[in-house]
Structure 1
Amino acid sequence: MADRPVCFSTTDQSECQHCGAHVSRDFRRTFGDEENVAHRCPACDSMGRICRGTAAGKELDYPDPEDQPQRNQGGRVDARPDGGESL
C-alpha cells in the first residue's frame, strides 16, 4: 500500500469562516472557494447570495441579511412563536 500525503490546514474547513456553523463537505465543494472553504453558509446568509458566490468569498451588492436583519438568513433561522409576524 502506497503512503498517502497528509495535508495540514490552519483553518477548520468544516466550519463557516463567517459564523462558525458546521458546513458539509458537499456544501464546501459546491459553494466554497477553490480550496473548498465556505466563507458564508445558510446559517448566516441567504441562499440567493450563496448561489451568487458569497460562500466562495465573493462580495455582492445584493442585500446582506446581516445588514438588514428583517431579511431571511436561510433555512436555519430560529422559528418565532408568533409565526414571524413581529419584526
Structure 2
Amino acid sequence: MDLQLGERRLHVHDVGDGVPVFWHHGTPNLGLPPEPLFRPGVRWISYDRPGHGTSTPVPGRTVGSAATDISHIADALGLGQFAVFGHSACSF
C-alpha cells in the first residue's frame, strides 16, 4: 500500500497475520522482508525507505527519521503495539 504523508509517499509492505513486527532492512534492500522470515502468527510490516523503490525522497533525513515514519505507518494500520526487528549488511 502507499501511505501519503503530505507531499510525500511511503510504499508500505504488510505480509502475514498475527503479531505485528516492523522489519528494518539494510542497504540496498527494499522494504519487503525476506521470505524465509515468513512464519504463521507473524505479521511483517516494512516500507521502502525514502528515495528507494516507490517512496518519495526526503532530503536531509536522518536515521532517527525512521521512528517518525514507523509512527505514521502504525497509526495508519491501527497498531497500538508492535515489535521491531532489523538487519544490516554492514561490515567493519
Q: TM-score range by the shorter chain?
A: under 0.3
Structure ranking higher in strand proportion: 2
Structure of greater Rg? 1
TM-score scaled by structure 1?
0.23
